[in-house]
Amino acid sequence: MAKRAGIAGLEARLLACRLCAQSFAATATAHAPRPVFWHATGARLLIAGQAPGARVHASGKPFTDPSGVRLREWLGLDEARFYDRTRIAILPMAFCFPGYDAKGSDLPPPPICAATWRAEVLAAHPQVQLTLAVGGTAIRWHLGHRGSVSAAVAMWRDGLARGILPLPHPSWRNTGWLNRNPWFAAELLPVLRDRVRLLMEEGT
């Protein structure tokens, strides 16, 4: 009960966070903060994404967009299992949609979010056995990798040995990268799906 109370208190503080309110109001979208996360005590798999996009900002639920469809396919999970909070925690590097710039491009995750919340949020999930670092911001934070995303993902076995698997962002924008790197589907995804299957079955 104490652990659940601690999680509830953390959630309340996350939802009340307004650190980026002024900067979000100054973006082309001029939106208010809406932290989006998905977790419960006991989750064994952590999905560390970048930041919510506009669709997720509207839904309030992570990966309710085409990127989520592709990510679930990578993991070999249907929606029901993907959103099982007792198994999977979805905690992006920034909890709110950063907005668009004047050209309509996604702004990067504000670093202040991870600097303020990341350590505390991860400490609340000691049962996590595998972290999926999705995209450059998550890869840099979780693996300390300063090179390209391509280089980090190519060294996925090294990360996996540390319990952290680097992945490219599942955005449609990366379809070309996936086509140029067939080893991702042939070598990495079977291992990923097997690890995810074992984690989902553990304790059932």
DSSP-derived 3-state class of residue 125: coil
Q: Could you say which DSSP state residue 100 is in?
A: B
> Which candidate, 125, 141, 115, 113, places its Cα nearest to that of 51?
113
Of the options 3.60.10.10, 3.40.50.10140, 2.60.40.10, 3.40.470.10, the CATH number for the domain spanning 2-201: 3.40.470.10
Q: What's the first-to-final CA gap in the chain, in angstroms?
A: 21
Q: Which amino acid makes up residue 172?
A: W
3-state secondary structure of 38: strand
pLDDT tens digits, residue range 149-169?
999 999 999 999 999 999 999
The ranges assigned to domains in the chain are 2-201
| Per-residue model confidence as pLDDT tens digits over 86-136 | 999 999 999 999 999 888 888 999 999 999 999 999 999 999 999 999 999
